[in-house]
């Protein structure tokens, strides 16, 4: 690899390289399905379900960023969405495919880095992210936002769940600059309502709140330590 910076892409690749030792090895993470990881449960997020209950979401095309074992993609498909679901981990995609087959639903699972996606312009009515955003390094945040802007229809919705700053699940409160001083995301960056509104200021904010904790045998997934947010693209 030539260590020259001649354009913005070279700069991003250099910063990716500096942070690579801090990245979670996602294939290894998903290799043991018996681990006590809360979101390994095969239930949709309570906030995602609530968007249907509130009448915010209708059916259409959906893209899930960082789909993991597929629980939310399956729910959206069963609600009538046509879903593309992407994840960096081959292990998680395999697991998600098995779950979808068990439920007899058809989902287009994509094993790829979200920044390598060749997305169709204005294709999606909904883009959903449950736990990917807080693992995105600051220098990739603009690419993340541009991906949403390019692929989301005017009037479409973008929703995400992310770590609360200094919350029960972690959520580092370090500055964007400090990420590069320590060369680490410290397990995932934390956010506040103010930060999310500032980052996604080009979208209309519909709702930001803490995820509701639910009891274990509930039909939905909900734990403390996450912020849930839904925005609408201006049209």
User: Would you say residue 186 has pLDDT above 60?
Assistant: yes
Whether the CB-CB separation of 127 and 65 falls below 8 Å is answered with yes
Whether the CB-CB separation of 107 and 85 falls below 8 Å is answered with yes
Whether the CB-CB separation of 225 and 167 falls below 8 Å is answered with yes
Buried b (16+ CB within 10 A) or exposed e, 59-68: ebbbbbbbbb
User: Would you say residue 23 has pLDDT above 60?
Assistant: no
Q: Predicted confidence band at 191 (pLDDT cuts at 50, 70, 90)? A: very high
- pLDDT tens digits, 131-178: 999 999 999 999 999 999 999 999 999 999 999 999 999 999 999 999
Q: Measured between alpha carbons, how far is 64 from 130 in angstroms, rounded to an integer?
A: 8
- At residue 170, the 3 state secondary structure works out as strand
CATH number of 43-233: 3.40.50.150
* Phi, psi dihedrals of residue 143, rounded to the nearest 5°: -65, -40
Whether the model clears a pTM of 0.85, i.e. scores above it, the answer is: yes
């Amino acid at each position: 690899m030539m260590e020259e910076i001649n354009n913005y892409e070279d700069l991003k690749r250099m910063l990716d390289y500096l942070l690579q030792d801090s990245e979670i090895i996602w294939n290894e993470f998903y290799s043991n399905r018996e681990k006590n990881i809360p979101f390994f449960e095969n239930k949709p997020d309570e906030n995602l379900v609530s968007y249907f209950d509130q009448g915010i979401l209708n059916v259409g095309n959906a893209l899930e960023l960082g789909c993991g074992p597929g629980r939310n993609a399956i729910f959206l498909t069963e609600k009538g969405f046509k879903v593309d679901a992407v994840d960096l981990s081959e292990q998680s995609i395999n697991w998600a495919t098995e779950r979808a087959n068990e439920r007899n639903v058809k989902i287009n699972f994509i094993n790829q880095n979200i920044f390598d996606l060749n997305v169709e312009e204005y294709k999606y009515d909904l883009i959903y992210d449950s736990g990917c955003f807080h693992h995105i390094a600051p220098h990739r945040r603009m690419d993340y936002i541009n991906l949403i802007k390019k692929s989301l229809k005017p009037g479409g919705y973008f929703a995400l769940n992310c770590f609360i700053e200094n919350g029960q699940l972690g959520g580092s409160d370090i500055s964007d600059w400090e990420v590069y001083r320590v060369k680490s995301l410290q397990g995932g960056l934390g956010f506040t309502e103010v930060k999310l509104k500032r980052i996604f200021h080009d979208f209309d904010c519909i709702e930001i709140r803490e995820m509701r904790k639910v009891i274990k045998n509930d039909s939905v997934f909900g734990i403390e330590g996450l912020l849930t947010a839904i925005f609408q693209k201006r049209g």
